[in-house]
């Protein structure tokens, strides 16, 4: 059997501890599968005394990730610290500079400087693997980077944040408050260290930026994503969506359009009978529409210790099985230097259906004015309903509109016209509708 693969783990939180437990309890099976043992040779974590349920007594402890990356006698640096800058960034760069392979779950870091890191890894002839960075345990990176080679991808979209999906599901099914669901997601180890990254959509945006690059061969453009989180979604929206045959999900969507690539993260209404609408709780789903294969939908656990550790382990095993000096799969699907310049499609030209919920004063002519604003902006309506007792003010009514396909620009203009009518008693709610093709 070949020499053991020596790994150093930086970060022993939820994911790092799960990884350490799996590597120690399944050491024999992994050695047979990979043709060599995988040994945790070095570790670093903020709290050294915590019991992680794994025997780390033979691993050398380092005082910081940077020190581990620079000095440990290892083949692979496993970064499970998180954060777009600082320690994670410095230690990954130090490891690559030394010619170590790197495995990371850090979507924020890759979204910020993934192309640069990929170029360094390629120059050094080492692997930079990051399956765990997107959609937890779902092997979507491998699917895009390897399995779909040669396909032209037209759209990639999905539920990529377990925390948000968990919150939306429990609000809908159990009528729990947003805050109670978020607390539970934190307790279960799904949420980011700062959960606003989850609920405001930044975490999904980081993941989408990485998928866009792999799907379309363009440079990472995380700062050019249209972003809306779920903190504005109320139980009224969830119920109204259900009445109309939809469910609300936080989706990340990237698609080719005639004017460039559209990248957007926002609460989205999906038809109730679509598969993605049935994806509940912490589960993630990623759909890929391509010309040769057609539509591929991958569904699986999206967050939490074991789901994420499973993806990290797969990346480590790939390195253990790889032969020294062998040709490497380019980190981002094609060589970093050949990634194209990202051309952004403007959000105003986004086309699709819209759900609009208005809380209006109960006055003569209001309904007619709403309809006029729609007509003046060329928006054709699929349905329009008015409900009693839906508003916050005592004489308020709720009007819910669902449009046929129109443009973002038209909807914004119509909503601005409605706001100018001085009959609203609350902020209008606008939710985009996304229609899956095959599923
Ligand atoms: N906070 C993330 C989520 C963890 O909820 O999906 C996985 O990236």
Alpha-carbon radius of gyration of the chain:
24
Instruction: Ligand 1: list residues with CB < 6 Å.
Output: 136, 161-163, 190-192, 198, 203, 302-303
Q: How far apart (Å, rounded) are the C-alpha atoms in residues 158 and 284?
A: 7
Ligand 1 atom 4: residue of nearest CA: 303
In the chain, CATH 3.30.70.260 covers 349-433
Q: How far apart (Å, rounded) are the C-alpha atoms in residues 354 and 335?
A: 39
In the chain, CATH 3.30.360.10 covers 141-301
Q: Give the DSSP per-residue string, 13-40.
A: SHHHHHHHHHHHHTHHHHHHHHTS-EEE
pLDDT tens string 287-307? 999 999 999 999 999 999 999
DSSP assignment letter at 170: H
Ligand 1 atom 7: residue of nearest CA: 303
Which atom of ligand 1 sits closest to the CA of residue 191?
Answer: 1
pLDDT tens string 22-56? 999 999 999 999 999 999 999 999 999 999 999 99
CATH architecture of 349-433: 2-Layer Sandwich (3.30)
Question: What pLDDT is attached to residue 1?
Answer: 77
Q: How many CA atoms lie within 13 A of 64 on its CB side?
A: 11
Q: Which of 207, 249, 334, 413 is catalytic?
A: 207
**pTM greater than 0.85:** yes
In the chain, CATH 3.40.50.720 covers 2-136+305-336
351: three-class secondary structure by DSSP: strand
Ligand 1 pocket mutation, candidates 191, 280, 300, criterion most atoms within 8 A of CB: 191
Which atom of ligand 1 sits closest to the CA of residue 161?
Answer: 6
Which atom of ligand 1 sits closest to the CA of residue 192?
Answer: 1
Question: What pLDDT is attached to residue 241?
Answer: 94
Question: What pLDDT is attached to residue 389?
Answer: 59
Which atom of ligand 1 sits closest to the CA of residue 308?
Answer: 7
pLDDT tens string 312-362? 999 999 999 998 878 888 999 999 999 999 999 999 999 999 999 999 999
Active site residue 397: no
pLDDT tens string 174-223? 999 999 999 999 999 999 989 999 999 999 999 999 999 999 999 999 99
Question: What pLDDT is attached to residue 388?
Answer: 75
Integer angstrom CA distances of residue 435 from 141, 288, 327, 335, 415: 23, 13, 40, 33, 23
Percent over 70 (pLDDT), the chain: 99
pLDDT tens string 367-391? 999 999 999 999 999 999 988 754 4
Q: Which two tokens stand for residue 179?
A: 């805050």
What is the Å distance from ligand 1's center to 164 Cα?
Answer: 9
What is the Å distance from ligand 1's center to 3 Cα?
Answer: 35
Taking the domain 141-301, which CATH number applies? 3.30.360.10
Of 329 and 100, more confident: 100
Q: How many Cβ atoms sit within 10 Å of the Cβ of residue 323?
A: 7
Which CATH topology does 2-136+305-336 take? Answer: Rossmann fold (3.40.50)
Question: What pLDDT is attached to residue 391?
Answer: 45
Q: How far apart (Å, rounded) are the C-alpha atoms in residues 29 and 6?
A: 17
Rounded to an integer, the average pLDDT of 142-171 is 97
């Amino acid at each position: 059997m070949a020499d053991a693969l020596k790994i150093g783990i930086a970060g022993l939180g939820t994911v790092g501890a799960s990884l350490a437990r799996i590597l120690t309890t399944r050491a024999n099976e992994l050695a047979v599968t990979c043709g060599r043992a995988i040994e945790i040779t070095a570790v670093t974590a903020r709290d050294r005394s915590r019991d992680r349920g794994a025997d780390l007594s033979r691993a050398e402890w380092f005082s910081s990730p940077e020190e581990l990356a620079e000095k440990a006698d290892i083949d692979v640096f496993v970064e499970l610290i998180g954060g777009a800058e600082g320690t994670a960034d410095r230690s990954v760069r130090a490891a690559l500079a030394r010619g170590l392979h790197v495995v990371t779950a850090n979507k924020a870091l890759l979204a910020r400087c993934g192309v640069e890191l990929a170029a360094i890894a390629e120059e050094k002839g080492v692997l930079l693997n990051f399956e765990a960075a997107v959609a937890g345990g779902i092997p979507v990176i491998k699917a895009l980077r390897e399995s779909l080679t040669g396909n032209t991808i037209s759209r990639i979209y999905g539920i990529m944040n377990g925390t948000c999906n968990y919150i939306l599901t429990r609000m809908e099914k159990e009528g729990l408050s947003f805050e109670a669901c978020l607390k539970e997601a934190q307790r279960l180890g799904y949420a980011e260290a700062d959960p606003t990254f989850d609920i405001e959509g930044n975490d999904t945006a980081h993941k989408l930026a990485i998928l866009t690059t792999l799907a379309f061969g363009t440079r990472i453009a995380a700062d050019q994503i249209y972003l809306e989180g779920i903190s504005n979604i109320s139980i009224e929206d969830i119920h109204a969506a259900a009445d109309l045959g939809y469910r609300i999900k936080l989706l990340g969507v990237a698609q080719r359009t005639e004017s460039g690539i559209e990248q957007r993260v926002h609460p989205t209404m999906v038809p109730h009978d679509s598969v993605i609408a049935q994806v509940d709780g912490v589960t993630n789903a990623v759909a890929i529409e391509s010309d040769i294969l057609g539509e591929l939908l991958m569904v699986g656990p999206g967050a939490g210790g074991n789901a994420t550790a499973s993806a990290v382990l797969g990346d480590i095993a790939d390195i253990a099985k790889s032969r020294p000096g062998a040709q490497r799969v380019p980190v981002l699907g094609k060589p970093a230097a050949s990634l194209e310049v990202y051309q952004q499609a403007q959000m105003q030209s986004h086309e699709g259906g819209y759900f609009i919920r208005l809380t209006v004063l109960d006055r003569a002519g209001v309904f007619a004015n709403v309809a006029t604003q729609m007509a003046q902006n060329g928006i054709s309506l699929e349905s329009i309903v008015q409900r009693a007792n839906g508003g916050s003010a005592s004489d308020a009514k709720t009007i819910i509109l669902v449009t046929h396909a129109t443009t973002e620009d038209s909807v914004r203009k119509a909503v601005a016209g409605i706001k100018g009518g001085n009959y609203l008693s609350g902020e209008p709610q606008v939710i985009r509708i996304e229609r899956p093709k095959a599923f």
